[in-house]
């Protein structure tokens, strides 16, 4: 329990609520004292005003009926059960009239307004011990007349004091209830936060332990914890994708690089075993160089893809005139296609330009054209290069269309992955990286690559956001 | 010709030195940027082969300082980096050509020879001649044995480049870079097809071949 409490105190939520709690208590205490003092002084004022009015009244009685009339009135009023205190004494301090049983003698000695409240006991009350703290208190004024008669007129403070006491007690109780409530809320909020953090830590521990498919818990509350968990989950998803991508690539590398390496080794071995003439050795070495070049091409393509995918950090986009690239490439490839009985045509709007990297876009188009030649129609390959703006002018599309067999719809996503080659026999030379590189280049340019049916053939659409 | 190799990988530098020696060139070596700069600054080389990433001092700063001091010796940059932008940075720092590791030695040799020729022979020469084939850069006339040969603009540029480097091997990538201005590696034999078309135009009806294929390297125009 204590350990959990000290752990809880380390959470931000608990610290914050503890701080709020303390501030709240301080404010509440201030409020209680302020309120009671305000109420007390208000009541005391009222008492004094009532007393002043009574003295005025008695003054009028005295003026009208003299001392005798005054004493009679006082005697009469003393019998009323109200808060006024009356006492009439003669020279020897003997009580002549009034409702006071006992009184501090210093009060009567001190003629005039009493500076501080005094204690007294009323006639008829059971408790007549004056020193007792429970005896009532009053404020008042002592008048002395020429014949030695003294009259005390006062008003009991019991009512305002009781009132003050009640306010203080009820505020105190309220404060106590609020304090306990606040503490409980704080405790449960902190504990709740701690529990959720514990769940997140447990999930993280499982993830660190190697289970990348694990996700942090997200509740329906959509509070800050959930938002944090959700964004961390997004990050985990990305890591998982990258990780599985990496694993796929490592598997593919193992497979696709092993084949040419084995072939390289076999050729060297064969040459050593059977080679007789210088010419045979030379031929074997040439073959091996070709094989190494193929391997180097694969490595370069892989490096380029990872660099492009990593965002090509040093890449500074420049204005690239797509029209020019398309025309250049159509011209570059025309003889190859003509020689194999096919044709390449280009149809492009003028001045199609985007911000990007000319070399990479050229490389992407070259890869697509190479693919169209390799996997297109063997008897009469026809390749169309089309460049156009979409109707809403939001995108610029480059389209490479062939008249080959196309790619089955369910395979179209897969061919964008690294080392995926649909041609299982591997009869055409290639690395299986061409389209992955195109996809990476399009991603760098914030564009998309889409594979479509061209009836017959394949249509690859590169879509760039227009400036 | 005399070359200076500034390269921190001693084995790679030695392999390159031997290969260049076998091709009849003299070679000095430096294995870090500071020594390399000292040797290069001393002068007397036809071209420098400079690795980009080296201890103590990187290749680009060596080149930049040489250029600042007015040294115009042609520089071929070697780099394990090899992206388009790296190439641009390299050339901007004062390099004349850029080659990505791993490279074929034939490619390197062809580029070096092209560089040195560029350093020596004027680019502004108005007419090139190989055997009985002449190319006039101003009138854009191509003639062989007095007979005019009609070429497409790109074929003209291709022939112009080949003849400017007459007697030197030029590789396919060099052609793609200099004639088409693209720096990538096409999978198909596009360049070969252009060459064979050009060959058809300049050799058909003539006995003597002028445009020769060098296996594993590229092409050479030679009488």
Nearest neighbour of B180 by CB, restricted to A328, A367, A430: A328
Cis peptide upstream of residue A229 (ω within 30 degrees of 0): no
Query: Is it the case that residue A132 has pLDDT exceeding 90?
Result: no
Q: Write phi, then psi, for A345 (nearest 5 degrees).
A: -125, 150
3-state secondary structure of A63: helix
In terms of CA atoms, which chain A residue is nearest residue B105?
A289
Please tell me the distance from the alpha carbon of residue A365 to that of residue A329, in angstroms, as a whole number: 8
Q: From CA A259, how far away is CA A267, in angstroms rounded?
A: 12
Give me Rg for the CA atoms of chain A. 51
Distance CA A96, CA A1 (A): 72
Q: Which residue has the tokens 């390449």?
A: A344
At residue B82, the pLDDT reads 58
pLDDT at A8: 64
Span of B76-85, B166-175, B187-196 with lowest mean pLDDT: B76-85
Please state, in angstroms and rounded to a whole number, the distance separating the CA atoms of residues A45 and B7.
Answer: 101
Mean pLDDT calculated for residue range B135-151: 90
Contact (CB<8Å) B183/A359: yes
Residues A395-416, mean pLDDT to the nearest whole number: 84
A152: Cα separation from own chain's centroid: 72
Rounded to the nearest angstrom, the minimum Cα separation between B44 and chain A is 35
Cβ distance B100 to A300 less than 8 Å, yes or no, reads yes
Q: How many CB atoms lie within 10 A of CB A382?
A: 18
Q: A181 or B212: whose pLDDT is higher? A: B212
Burial of A157 (0-12, 13-18, 19+ CB in 10 A): buried
Out of A290, A332, A374, closest to residue B180 by CB: A332
Over residues A40-67, the pLDDT tens digits come to 788 878 888 888 888 888 888 888 888 7
- B194 and A366 in contact by Cβ < 8 A? no
CA-based nearest residue in chain B for residue A430: B187
Per DSSP (E only), the strands in A158-234 are none
Instruction: Tell me the average pLDDT across A102-129.
Output: 76
Q: How many residues does chain B have?
A: 223
Q: What value does the mean pLDDT take over residues A264-281?
A: 86
Q: Are B184 and A363 within 8 A, CB to CB?
A: yes
- Phi, psi dihedrals of residue A166, rounded to the nearest 5°: -65, -45
Q: What is the pLDDT averaged over residues B135-152?
A: 90
For residue B24 the two structure tokens come to: 């009849």
- Chain B positions touching A290 (Cβ under 8 A) are 216
Q: Which band of pLDDT confidence, cut at 50, 70 and 90, is reported for residue A440?
A: confident
**For residue A128, is pLDDT > 60?**
no
Nearest CA-CA distance, residue A238 and chain B, Å: 26
Q: What is the pTM of this model?
A: 0.62
Residues of A with Cβ-Cβ distance to B86 under 8 angstroms: 314
pLDDT surpasses 70 at A18? yes
DSSP bridge pairs for A121: A102
Order across the sheet with A395-401: list the strands.
A343-348, A382-389, A395-401, A458-465, A448-453
What is the separation of C-alpha A298 from the centre of its chain, rounded to a whole number of angstroms?
Answer: 45
Examine the pLDDT at B7 and tell me if it is beyond 60: yes
Task: Check B215 against A286: CB less than 8 A apart.
Answer: yes
- Give the percent of chain A with pLDDT over 70: 91
Residues contacting B108, CB < 8 A, separation 6+: B16, B49, B76, B99
* A115: pLDDT strictly greater than 80: no
* Beta-carbon separation of A286 and B193 below 8 A: no
Interface test with A, best of B83, B87, B152, B172 (most A CBs within 10 A): B83
Write out the two tokens for A445: 């340019």
CB atoms within 10 A of CB B10: 10
Please report, rounded to a whole number, the percentage of residues in chain A having pLDDT higher than 90.
8
Maximum alpha-carbon separation in chain A: 161
Looking at residues A381-399, what average pLDDT do you find? 90
Is B83–A296 a contact, with Cβ atoms under 8 angstroms apart? Answer: no
Per-residue pLDDT band for A9 (boundaries 50, 70, 90) equals: low
Is beta strand B2-6 parallel, antiparallel or unpaired with respect to B47-51? parallel
The C-alpha atoms of residue A410 and residue A261 are separated, in whole angstroms, by 32
**Residue B97: closest CA among B154, B41, B45, B48:** B48
Whole-angstrom distance, CA of residue A54 vs CA of residue A198: 73
Of B182, B176, B130, B183, residue with least CA distance to B157: B176
Considering CB atoms only, which of A304, A370, A373 is closest to B83? Answer: A304
Over 60: is that where the pLDDT of A112 sits? yes
> Which DSSP string do the residues of B139-182 spell out, in sequence order?
T--EEETTEE----HHHHHHHHHHHHTTTSEEEHHHHIIIII--
* Residue of B19, B100, B188, B215 for testing the chain A interface, max A β-carbons within 10 Å: B188
**Burial environment of residue A418 by CB neighbours within 10 A (0 to 12, 13 to 18, 19 or more):** buried
Q: Which one, of A181, A179, A180, A186, lies nearest residue A29 by Cα?
A: A179
Residues of B in contact with A336 (CB under 8 A): 188-190, 193
Single out the residue of B220, B219, B216, B221 nearest to residue B104, CA to CA: B216
Chain B partners within 8 Å of A359 (Cβ): 84, 182-184
CB contact under 8 A, A296 and B102: yes
Beta carbons of B155 and B198 less than 8 angstroms apart: yes
Kindly provide the ipTM of the predicted complex, given to two decimals. 0.81
- C-alpha dihedral sign at A367, A372, A375, A378: negative
> From A285, which residue of chain B is nearest by alpha-carbon distance?
B216
Q: What angle do CA A17, A22, A25 make, to 5 degrees?
A: 120
Span A9-33, average pLDDT: 77
- CA–CA separation, A82 and A90 (whole Å): 24
Of B99, B106, B76, which Cα lies nearest the Cα of A300? Answer: B99
C-alpha to C-alpha distance for A123 and A145, rounded to whole angstroms: 24
* Contact present, A308 and A437 (Cβ < 8 Å): yes
Among A293, A366, A428, the strongest candidate for a mutation testing the B interface, having the largest count of B CBs within 10 A, is: A366
**Per the CB < 8 Å rule, is A339 touching B193?**
yes
Residue B113 CB: number of other CB atoms within 10 A?
A: 20
Q: Is A396 helix (H, G, I), strand (E, B) or coil?
A: strand
- State the pLDDT at residue A168: 78
Q: Which residue has the higher pLDDT, A365 or A293?
A: A365
B186, pLDDT greater than 80: no
Strands (E), A90-228: 95-98, 100-103, 112-113, 118-122, 137-144, 150-156
Q: Is there a contact between A117 and A138 (Cβ–Cβ < 8 Å)? A: yes
pLDDT per position as a tens digit, A284-302: 888 888 888 788 878 877 8
- Using the predicted structure, report yes or no on whether residue B119 has a pLDDT greater than 50: no
Q: Considering CB atoms only, which of B86, B188, B194 is closest to A370?
A: B188
pLDDT in tens, A202-248: 888 888 887 878 888 888 878 888 888 888 888 888 888 888 777 77
**Backbone conformation region of residue A335, classed left if phi is above 0, alpha if psi is from -120 to 50, else beta:** alpha
- Are residues B31 and B10 in contact, defined by beta-carbon separation less than 8 angstroms? yes
* pLDDT tops 60 at residue B121: no
- Give the pLDDT mean for A196-200: 83
Instruction: Work out the pLDDT band at A386, boundaries 50, 70, 90.
Output: very high
Please report where in the chains the tokens 């959720």 appear, as a residue.
A196
Q: In whole angstroms, what is the distance from residue A31 CA to residue A21 CA? A: 15
As to burial, measured by CB atoms within 10 angstroms (0-12 exposed, 13-18 middle, 19+ buried), residue A192 is middle
Nearest CA of chain A to the CA of B183: how many Å?
7
How many angstroms separate the CA of residue A366 from the nearest CA in chain B? 7
Proportion of chain B above pLDDT 90, given as a percent:
38
Directed axis angle between helix A434-444 and helix A278-309, to 10°?
30
| Chain A residue closest in CA terms to B194 | A335
Question: Which among A290, A315, A336 has CB closest to B193?
Answer: A336
What pLDDT score was predicted for residue B120?
38
Q: Residue A286: its chain B contacts at CB < 8 A?
A: 215-216
Q: Which residue has the higher pLDDT, A152 or B187?
A: A152
Q: Which residues of B touch A373 (CB under 8 A)?
A: 188
Residue B176 burial (CB count, 10 A):
19
Residues of A within an 8 Å Cβ radius of B: 286, 289-290, 293, 296-297, 300, 303-304, 307, 312, 314-316, 328, 331-333, 335-336, 339, 357, 359-360, 362-363, 366-367, 370, 373-374, 429-430, 434
Pairing of strands A112-113, A137-144: antiparallel
Q: Of A286, A297, A374, which is closest to B185 when you measure between CB atoms?
A: A297
**A328/B182 touch (CB, cutoff 8 Å), yes or no:** yes
Between strands A118-122 and A112-113, the pairing is unpaired
Is A289 in Cβ contact with B85 (below 8 Å)? no
CA-based nearest residue in chain B for residue A373? B188
């Amino acid at each position: 329990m204590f350990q959990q409490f000290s752990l809880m105190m380390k959470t931000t939520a608990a610290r914050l609520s503890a701080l709020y709690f303390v501030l709240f208590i301080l404010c509440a205490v201030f409020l209680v004292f302020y309120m009671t003092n305000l109420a007390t002084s208000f009541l005391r004022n009222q008492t004094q005003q009532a007393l002043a009015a009574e003295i005025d009244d008695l003054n009028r009685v005295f003026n009208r009926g003299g001392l005798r009339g005054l004493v009679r009135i006082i005697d009469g009023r003393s019998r009323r059960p109200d808060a006024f205190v009356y006492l009439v004494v003669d020279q020897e301090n003997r009580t002549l009239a009034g409702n006071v049983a006992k009184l501090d003698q210093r009060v009567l000695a001190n003629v005039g307004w009493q500076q501080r409240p005094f204690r007294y006991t009323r006639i008829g009350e059971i408790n007549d011990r004056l020193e007792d703290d429970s005896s009532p208190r009053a404020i008042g004024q002592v008048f002395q007349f020429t014949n030695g008669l003294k009259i005390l007129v006062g008003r009991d403070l019991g009512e305002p004091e009781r009132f003050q006491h009640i306010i203080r007690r009820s505020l105190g109780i309220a404060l106590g209830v609020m304090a306990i409530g606040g503490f409980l809320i704080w405790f449960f909020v902190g504990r709740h936060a701690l529990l959720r953090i514990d769940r997140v830590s447990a999930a993280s521990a499982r993830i660190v332990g190697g289970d990348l498919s694990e996700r942090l818990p997200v509740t329906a509350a959509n509070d800050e914890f959930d938002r944090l968990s959700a964004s961390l989950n997004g990050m985990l998803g990305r890591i998982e994708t990258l990780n599985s991508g990496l694993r796929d690539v490592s598997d593919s590398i193992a497979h696709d690089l092993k084949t040419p390496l084995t072939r390289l080794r076999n050729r060297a071995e064969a040459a050593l075993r059977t080679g007789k003439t210088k010419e045979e050795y030379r031929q074997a070495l040439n073959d091996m160089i070709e094989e190494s070049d193929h391997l180097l091409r694969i490595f370069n393509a892989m490096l380029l893809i990872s660099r492009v995918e990593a965002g090509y950090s040093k890449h500074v986009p420049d204005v690239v005139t797509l029209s020019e690239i398309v025309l250049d490439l159509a011209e570059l490839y025309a003889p190859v296609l003509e020689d194999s009985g096919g044709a390449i045509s280009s149809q492009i709007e003028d001045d199609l330009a985007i911000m990007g990297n000319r070399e990479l876009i050229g490389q992407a188009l070259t890869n697509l054209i190479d693919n169209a030649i390799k996997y297109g129609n063997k008897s009469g390959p026809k390749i169309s290069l089309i460049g156009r703006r979409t109707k809403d002018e939001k995108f610029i599309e480059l389209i490479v269309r062939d008249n080959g067999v196309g790619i089955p719809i369910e395979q179209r996503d897969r061919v964008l992955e690294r080392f995926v080659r649909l041609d299982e026999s591997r009869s055409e030379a290639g690395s299986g990286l061409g389209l992955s590189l195109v996809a990476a280049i399009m991603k760098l340019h914030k564009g998309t690559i889409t594979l479509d049916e061209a009836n017959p053939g394949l249509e690859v659409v590169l879509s760039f956001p227009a400036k | 010709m005399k070359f200076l190799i500034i390269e921190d990988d001693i084995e790679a530098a030695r392999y390159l030195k031997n290969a260049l020696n076998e091709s009849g060139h003299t070679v000095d070596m430096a294995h870090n940027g500071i020594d390399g700069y000292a040797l290069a600054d001393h002068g007397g080389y036809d071209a420098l082969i400079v690795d980009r990433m080296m201890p103590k001092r990187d290749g680009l700063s060596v080149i930049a300082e040489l250029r600042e001091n007015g040294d115009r010796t042609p520089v071929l940059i070697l780099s394990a980096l090899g992206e388009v932008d790296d190439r641009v940075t390299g050339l901007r720092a004062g390099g004349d050509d850029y080659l990505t590791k791993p490279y074929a030695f034939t490619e390197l040799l062809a580029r070096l020879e092209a560089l040195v020729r560029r350093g020596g022979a004027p680019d502004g020469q108005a007419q090139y001649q190989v055997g009985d084939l002449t190319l006039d850069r101003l009138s854009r006339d191509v003639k062989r044995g007095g007979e005019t040969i009609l070429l497409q603009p790109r074929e003209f540029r291709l022939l112009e480049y080949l003849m400017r480097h007459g007697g030197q091997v030029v590789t396919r990538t060099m052609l793609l870079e200099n004639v088409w201005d693209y720096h990538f590696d096409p999978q198909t034999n596009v360049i070969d097809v252009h060459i064979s078309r050009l060959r058809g135009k300049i050799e058909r009806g003539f006995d003597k071949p002028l445009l020769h294929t060098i296996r594993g390297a590229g092409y050479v125009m030679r009488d």
